[in-house]
Amino acid sequence: MEAPESQVLSDPEQDPEPLLILSSLDIFVFSLFSGVLIYWFFFRNRPETAPEIKTLQATPTVAQPVRETSFIEKMKKTNRNIVVFYGSQTGTAEEFANRLAKDAQRYGMKGMAADPEEYDMSELSRLKEMSNSLAVFCMATYGEGDPTDNAQEFYDWMQGADDDMEGVNFAVFGLGNKTYEHFNAMGKYTDKRLAELGATRVFDLGLGDDDTNLEEDFISWKEQFWPAVCEFFGVEATGEETSIRQFELVVHNDVNMNQVYTGEVGRLRSFQTQKPPFDSKNPFLAPVSVNRKLNKGGNRHLMHLELDISESKVRYDAGDHVAVYPTNDTTVVSRLGERLGVDLDIIMSLKNLDEESNKIHPFPCPTSYRTALTHYLDINNPPRTNVLYELAQYASDPKEQESMRKMASASPEGKALYQSWVVDSERNILSILEDLPSLQPPIDHLCELLPRLQARYYSIASSSKVHSTSIHICAVVVEYTTKTGRVFKGVATNWLKNKIVTDNGHTPTVPMYVRRSQFRLPFKPSNPVVMIGPGTGIAPFMGFIQERAWLKEQGKDVGETILYFGCRHRNEDFLYQQELEDFERAGVLTQLNVAFSRDQDHKVYVQHLLKKNKEHLWKLVHSHNAHIYVCGDARNMARDVHAAFHEIAQEAGGLTHAQAVDYFKKLMTKGRYSQDVWS
């Protein structure tokens, strides 16, 4: 409103000359007119502008605080000299970063854990402005050598950075898995790149291997890391080995239940009022429309689920992953409450004692202990050594306390005891509490120490070209007996199994979002594709085959589509048998090769069938630009398949072993040999 008004008032002043020839009457009329305008402008609007002044005055009381994006300024403001950044996909790297930041206090320093996604990482060169400063990076590698979602921008920055890092001190611990081709790629790259930019490496790169014992690797690295840091900065450890609480308990006796979290990942009441876009912090509650058992026999339970996304605006492509947020077994949660002798329905908050921390709560608060243990905390996996160390003080039996402290130590005996008694025996927190009767920790401290329950990722078993309003999942229920005689149940698969579709009007739902993948069909449909996916590794290939069938219906020139599938018995676990045989009869599947490993005396696996067809496979790969896709177990199957292709290149292509290895490395670089594997 004000802009046009000011324009009207200023118009007569644009050309002052005409005023000199006006009569006194004209001047009087003009003055009268101007006076009316001035009165109208200043006094008529006064009642309207008063509320605006009040609004401006009220704004500071309701404005949200601006998030600090400068970690340098935050470190200066809070008198910290160590920052521990984490690239984390499943929460482990974040957990390690928090442990290192907490450890700093024991060595006379002050640290903070930081998510690189939340800060301006181009400020890293400014770290030299603080004396005795250090940046530590706990970097996990995701997929095929990729950065985690929260480290993607930092990785992009490193690739293009030319900053002078001289005077910046750093150390890196990488989290990876040796069963993958690009073991610890992100940790190695971060360490190498920072050194190239002139930063000073305070301690050697640590390489954690989740295929063996990631916790042991981390403990061994940090036991040498801290003395090296103390020596580098010329400081002495304080020797404090006491438990340091990070959060304080606040019990809410009188609280509005509409303000209490009941399992939401991010926004309060987001499950009651769903608002797109949907992502990791705002999952969509997808109704389960189909949940059927796939196998015809055997003692396992393989299942096919369909999630209805018609009301979500969620989009996906064949090859993408669907992430689901499971909940823990309510029976186990109740048993934990009984063992600790607490009322799980108490409403509480855990509040960070460090008021400057971005992480105000370890999980959404306020909430009940029951909700925290059901939705937010990992109570099923064996707890890490730092949890045992912190809980040991609550064991009244000296022998039990000593045993817990030993398992949390870096000594060879302690590591061996932790490996056998906790890891190999698969004792979760409930099992440990049951087997150590004198251990009686406060439940709030236990909730502070347990890691967050993470989303689970599944390869989508459908194509959006055919199923635009649903996402399909293929999974096997994890359930077996451990060395202690207890039954271990996989959290997510048992939770999904119980999402039963009934006719009584109740529709089960699954909190989910889509994570994009690089596992993609060739841009040209005419390129042949060779898919190798035994067991539930067939999942993404159901989407690929559906899409190739759709392309064929559209009149596209579709190349050879070959599937190598493996299972135990034809009559038990030949997943999607009817659909696959129908695709073969329709000419969509050029070849359907199935290895039934236990239907004969000698084991037959997919790699054996590959070698049987070596001439044709080599021709497709070498002469017809075929794309190879492998999905399933990384530890054995993916390695064996890779080795089989090396042999095929040698026997059918006449390459030496070294040439064959190099040949398939180049195919990977070109995106023509893709893997979607897990261990």
Q: Which residues are catalytic?
A: 459, 631, 676, 678
| Distance separating alpha carbons of residues 534 and 154, to the nearest angstrom | 36
C-alpha gyration radius of the chain: 31
Q: Which residue matches tokens 């239907």?
A: 599
Start-to-end CA distance of the chain, whole Å, equals: 64
Residue 212 tokens read as 């063996």
3-state DSSP call for residue 355?
Answer: coil
Given a contact cutoff of 8 angstroms between Cβ atoms, the answer to whether 127 and 77 are in contact is: no
Measured in degrees and rounded to the nearest 5, phi and psi for residue 110 equal -130, 120
Nearest to 93 by CA among 135, 139, 136: 139
3-state DSSP call for residue 368?
Answer: strand
For residues 547, 549, 550 and 552, what is the CA-based torsion angle, rounded to 10 degrees? Answer: 120
Residue 169 tokens read as 């001190």
Given a contact cutoff of 8 angstroms between Cβ atoms, the answer to whether 676 and 641 are in contact is: no
Is residue 270 classed exposed, middle or buried when 0-12, 13-18 and 19+ CB atoms within 10 A define those classes?
A: buried
| Distance separating alpha carbons of residues 452 and 326, to the nearest angstrom | 12
Query: Amino acid identity of 65?
Result: P
For the chain, the 3-state helix, strand and coil shares in percent, each to the nearest 5, are 45, 20, 40
Q: Which residue matches tokens 């099923």?
A: 380
- Residues contacting 112, CB < 8 A, separation 6+: 71, 74, 75, 78, 80, 82, 83, 84, 101, 354, 357
Omega within 30 of 0 (cis) for the link into 277: yes
Strand partners, 170: 135, 201
Number of other residues whose CB lies within 10 A of the CB of residue 451: 20
Given a contact cutoff of 8 angstroms between Cβ atoms, the answer to whether 109 and 81 are in contact is: yes
Is residue 677 classed exposed, middle or buried when 0-12, 13-18 and 19+ CB atoms within 10 A define those classes?
A: buried
Per DSSP, helices labelled H in 498-638 are 539-553, 570-573, 577-585, 606-612, 614-623
Q: For the residues of 55-93, what is the DSSP string, one character each?
A: HHHHHHHHPPPPPP--HHHHHHHTT--EEEEEE-SSSHH
